[in-house]
Structure 1
Amino acid sequence: MRHQPASAADPASASSVAFRTTIFQVAPLLVAVTVLILGHGLQGTLLGVRGGLEGMSARSIGLVMSAYFLGFIAGSLWSVHLIEAVGHIRTFAAFASVTSAVALAYALEISVVGWTVLRIINGFCFAGMILVVESWLNAGTASRWRGRVLAIYGTITLAAWAVSQPMLSLADPGGFVLFCLVSILVSLSLVPVTLSRTGVSSDIGAERMSPRELFVISPIGLIGTFLIGFWGSAFWGMGPTFGQMINMSTEEIAAFMAAVMIGAAIGQWPMGWLSDLMDRRIVLAGGTLLAAISAIGVAVSETQNSLLLWAVLYGATSITMYSICIAHVNDRVSPTKLLAAASGLLISYGAGSTFGPLLAGGLMDHFGSELLFSGSAAVQAAFVIFICWRILVERAVPNADKEAFVAMPSAATSHVGVELNRHTTIRD
C-alpha cells in the first residue's frame, strides 16, 4: 500500500507544521520584545516613584512623562526612513543601545529638565524598536497565520508589562540597581534580534492618512484613539505618583500597576469576541462606561483589596478599548488603506498621550490624587455620549464585512495588526 505525503493525506497536520515553522521563525522577535518590555515597563513605574522620592511635584512628573510621547510621535514618523536606509537589525541595534544608555543616565542626571530630555529620546527610540518588531512580524508572516501571530505577540506584550511591575520591589527605587536592571534587560533584547537569520525587506511601504480623512471615515476611531491615549498615558505616567500620594508602599504601587495590566490581559479576548458578534460601537460604549465606573471605584477605594479589584476592572475596560477602536476603523477602510489609517491613528493616539500626564499632574497638584481617576472618568463619560450619538446617526458595519479582531497592547503599539507588503529577504 502506497503512503501519501503528509500534506496530501492530512492537510490539518501539514497546516500545523507550517504554523510551528512560522512561530519558530519569529521566535527571536518574540523573545526580544518580551525582554524589552520587561525593562521598559519597569522603567516607566520606576521613574514615577523615583521622581516622588526626589521631591518632584505631580506637575513636574507629568511634564516628564508627557515628554516621552513627543519622542514617540517623532520616532514613529522618522524611524520608517531609518529602517529603509539601513535595515531592521541595524535600526533595532542602534535604538536599543541608546535606550540602554538612557536608562543609566536617568540615575546620573536627576532633574526635571534632564529627565524631560531623556524621556524624549526614550520615546523616540522605543517607537523605532517597536516599529521594527511589528513591521517584521507583519511582513514576515504569511497572511493565513498573521492574525494568530499578532494575537500571540499582543498577549506576550501584555504579560511582560504585567510581570515588569512587581520587579519594582527587587531593589530600592531610591538607588541605582533598578536603573542598571533596566539597562541590562534592554541590552539583552539585542541578542535574539542581532543573531536572527530570517527577516523581511527594509522597504515597509510607509503611508499616511490625514486627520481630516480619518475623521470622515470614522469620527469614533480618530477621537477614540486620541482620548484613549489621553487617559491611558495619564494612568501610566501618574499611576505611581497617585500611589505615593495615598501613601502606598513600593510593593503596593507595583501590585496596583500590575493589577491594571492583568485586567487588560483578561479583558482583551472577551471584548474582542463581543465586538465580532455585534456593533463594535456598542461594545466600545459599554466598555468605556465600565471604565468610567471603575475609575471612580479606584478614586474612592479605602482598602488595598478593593483598590486592586477596581484596578483589574479598569484595565480590562479602559486599555482594551484601543483594540476595539482600531478594529472599528479597519472595518471601514479598504485593504489598501489599512496601513495609512493605522499610521494616522498612531499619531492621534500619541497626540492624546502627550497631554494626559501633563494635565493629570496639574490637576493632582491642585485638587488631590483622586483627580487622576475622576478626571479620566469624566473624559470617558463624554466619549460614551459621543459614541451613542454616532450610533444614532450612522449605520453599523454588517458582521460579514468586519475585519478579524486582533488584540493590541496600546502602550506599545505602532503598526501592529496592519498588513504590510510581504517580502522574504532582509538587509542587515
Structure 2
Amino acid sequence: MFQFLSGAWALLLGMMLLMLGNGVQSTLLGIRGEIEGFSTFEMSLVMSAYFIGFLGGSRMAPEMIRRVGHVRVFAALASFISAVIILYPTFANPWVWVVGRVVIGFCFSGVYVTAESWLNNAATNENRGQALSLYVIVQMIGVVAAQAILLTADPSGYVLFVIPSVLVSISFAPILLSISPTPAFEATQPMSLRDLVRNSPLGAVGMFLLGGVFSAQFGMSAVFGAEVGLSVKQISLFVAMFYVGATVIQYPLGWLSDRMDRRVLVAMAGLVGGLGAVTGVVFGDNFILLLVAATLIGGFSNPLYSLLIAHTNDFLDHKDMAAASGGLVFINGLGAIAGPVLTGWIMAVTGPSGYFLFLAALMLAIAVYAVYRMTARAAIAVEDTGSYAPVLPTSSMVAVEAAQEFAIEAAQEEEEPGFVQ
C-alpha cells in the first residue's frame, strides 16, 4: 500500500480537489437557483442535465483518450469545467445553466475516466482492493468537505463560484506534473443490455432504480433544502450527511456481503433506506430527523452500487465481468437522467415532501424486487460468490472495471489448489 501511495498520492490529491469543486458547484446551484427564483421543475432540468453529459462523456472519453492521450484530455476537460463554473452567475438563466450542466457532466465524466485509468494502472493485483477503498475515501472526503466551503461566502455573490473554479484549475498540477508514465488505455466493449438483464435481473433493475436515487441525492437535495427554508449552514450539513452515512456504512455492508446471500442484503438496505426516506416525509419539519433521514438514505443507497455489481458478478463467468461493467454504468446513468426530472415533478405536485416520497418509492421498490428475485432463483452458496469491492456512483466505468478486475483476481486466487479460506 505504501508503494501504491508513493506513486499515486498526487493523483489522489488531484481527485480530492476535483471532488471538492464538483461538490461545491452542485449544492451551490441548488441554493442559487432558489435565490434567482427558478422553479422546481427548471432546477430539476438543470440537475438532470449533468447526468446527460456524464453518460455521454463516459461513452466518448475512451475514444478521445486513444486519439490525443490522457494528458491532453484531462487538461482540456478540466479547463472547460473551470470556465463553465465561472459562467453560472454571469448568465443566471435556467436554460443557460442546463447547457452548462451538460458540459460540466461531460467533462467530469471524461476527467474521471482519465484519472481512474491512471489509478488502476498504479495499482497491482495485490493492492487493487485497498486502492479502490482509498479512492472511495478520498471521494467522500472531497464531497463532504465541499459542503463546509459553502459557509465561507454569500451564495448570492460570485466568490462561491470562483472557489470551485480555482479548485478544479489547481487539480491539474499534482496530476499532470507527478503522474508518469501515462498508461495505455483500452475500453472493454459493454455487454448488451438484454444479456445483462438475462444474467442478473436484480442487478439491472436495481442499478436503474439506484441511478434515480443517487441523482436525486446529488442533484436535488440542496433544492429541497432551499424550498423548505433551511439556512445555507443547514443545507450544507443536510447534503453532507448523505455522504457521511455512506462512508460509515460502506465497509460494514461490504463485510456482510461476502458472508450472506447478497439479495437479502440488497432487500435490507433498500428497506432501511426507504424507511429513512419515510422519516423525511413524516418529520420533514424537524431538522435533526432530516439529518437522520439523509444519513440512512445515503448510508444504505451508496453501498448498494457496489453490492449490485458484486451480485451481478455472481452470475457471470470471469470473462464477462469486465463487459458487464459498461452495461451497469449505462443503466445506472439512464436512471440518473430521469431522477431529478421526476423528483422535480413530484415536488411541484405534492410540495417539498415529494423529494422524500420519490426516494422512498425507489428504495422500497429495490427491496421488494430483491425479495421477489429470492423466490425466482435459488441462492448461490456463499463460498461460491465473488468479492465485494467498494466503488461509488460518482465513479466512471474505469473504476467499475477496476472493481471487476479485483473480483476476478480474488476468485482466481480462491480457485488455486491449496487455497484455504
Is 1:355 the counterpart of 2:364 in the alignment? no
- In the TM superposition, 1:202-241 aligns within 5 A as 202-241=184-223
For 2:182 and 2:322, the matched residues in 1 are separated by: 17
Match of 1:379 among 355, 362, 367: 362
Q: Secondary structure at the match of 1:416?
A: helix
Give the letter for the 2:57 counterpart.
G
Q: Is the 8 A contact 2:276 2:293 kept in 1?
A: yes
In the superposition, the TM-score normalised over structure 2's length comes to: 0.93
Map of 2:262 onto structure 1: 280
For 1:351 and 1:421, the matched residues in 2 are separated by: 24
Map of 1:322 onto structure 2: 305
Q: Deviations over 1:133-160 (max 9, x none)?
A: 2222223311111111111101111121
Match of 2:48 among 57, 62, 66: 66
Q: Secondary structure at the match of 2:374?
A: helix
Is 1:390 the counterpart of 2:365 in the alignment? no
Map of 2:413 onto structure 1: none
Give how far 1:334 is off: 2.5
Give how far 1:306 is off: 1.9
Map of 2:314 onto structure 1: 331
Match of 2:59 among 77, 90, 93: 77
Q: Deviations over 1:185-228 (max 9, x none)?
A: 00011001110242443322332111111101111111111110
Map of 2:102 onto structure 1: 120
Larger displacement relative to structure 2 (262-271 or 228-237): 228-237
Q: Secondary structure at the match of 1:186?
A: helix
For 1:184 and 1:110, the matched residues in 2 are separated by: 20
Give how far 1:421 is off: 9.1
Alpha-carbon distance change, 360 to 417 in structure 1, aligned in 2, over 3 angstroms: closer
Q: Secondary structure at the match of 1:143?
A: coil
Aligned residues: 404
Q: Secondary structure at the match of 1:320?
A: helix
Give the letter for the 1:207 counterpart.
Q
Larger displacement relative to structure 2 (294-303 or 260-269): 294-303
Map of 1:104 onto structure 2: 86
Map of 1:249 onto structure 2: 231
For 1:123 and 1:290, the matched residues in 2 are separated by: 30
Map of 1:11 onto structure 2: none
For 1:415 and 1:197, the matched residues in 2 are separated by: 17
Map of 1:341 onto structure 2: 324
Q: Deviations over 1:389-418 (max 9, x none)?
A: 111111223223322211112133433142
Give how far 1:308 is off: 1.2
Give the letter for the 1:352 counterpart.
G
Map of 1:366 onto structure 2: 349
Is 1:186 the counterpart of 2:176 in the alignment? no
Q: Deviations over 1:19-52 (max 9, x none)?
A: 3112211111111100100010111000111011
Map of 1:140 onto structure 2: 122
Q: Is the 8 A contact 1:235 1:372 kept in 2?
A: no
For 2:185 and 2:251, the matched residues in 1 are separated by: 32
For 1:376 and 1:315, the matched residues in 2 are separated by: 11
Match of 2:294 among 311, 314, 328: 311
Map of 1:8 onto structure 2: none
Give how far 1:335 is off: 2.6
Give the letter for the 2:10 counterpart.
P
Give how far 1:260 is off: 1.2
Alpha-carbon distance change, 314 to 164 in structure 1, aligned in 2, over 3 angstroms: same
Q: Deviations over 1:79-98 (max 9, x none)?
A: 00011112222211111111
Give how far 1:336 is off: 2.4
Map of 2:113 onto structure 1: 131
For 2:188 and 2:82, the matched residues in 1 are separated by: 27
Alpha-carbon distance change, 34 to 197 in structure 1, aligned in 2, over 3 angstroms: closer
Q: Deviations over 1:359-383 (max 9, x none)?
A: 1111111210001111221222222
For 1:327 and 1:44, the matched residues in 2 are separated by: 29
Give the letter for the 2:186 counterpart.
I
**Sequence identity of aligned pairs in percent?**
36
Q: Secondary structure at the match of 1:229?
A: helix
Map of 2:419 onto structure 1: none
Map of 1:51 onto structure 2: 33
Which has the higher Rg, Structure 1 or Structure 2? 1
For 1:63 and 1:204, the matched residues in 2 are separated by: 33
Alpha-carbon distance change, 105 to 119 in structure 1, aligned in 2, over 3 angstroms: same
Q: Deviations over 1:227-253 (max 9, x none)?
A: 101121112211111112211111100
For 1:414 and 1:46, the matched residues in 2 are separated by: 27
Q: Secondary structure at the match of 1:259?
A: helix
Q: Is the 8 A contact 2:217 2:242 kept in 1?
A: no
Larger displacement relative to structure 2 (300-309 or 29-38): 300-309
- In the TM superposition, 1:283-302 aligns within 5 A as 283-301=265-283, 302=285
For 1:390 and 1:199, the matched residues in 2 are separated by: 46
Map of 2:384 onto structure 1: 401
Give the letter for the 1:324 counterpart.
L
Q: Deviations over 1:294-339 (max 9, x none)?
A: 0011222232222212221221112221111111112222232222
Q: Secondary structure at the match of 2:37?
A: coil
In the superposition, the TM-score normalised over structure 1's length comes to: 0.91
For 1:391 and 1:203, the matched residues in 2 are separated by: 39
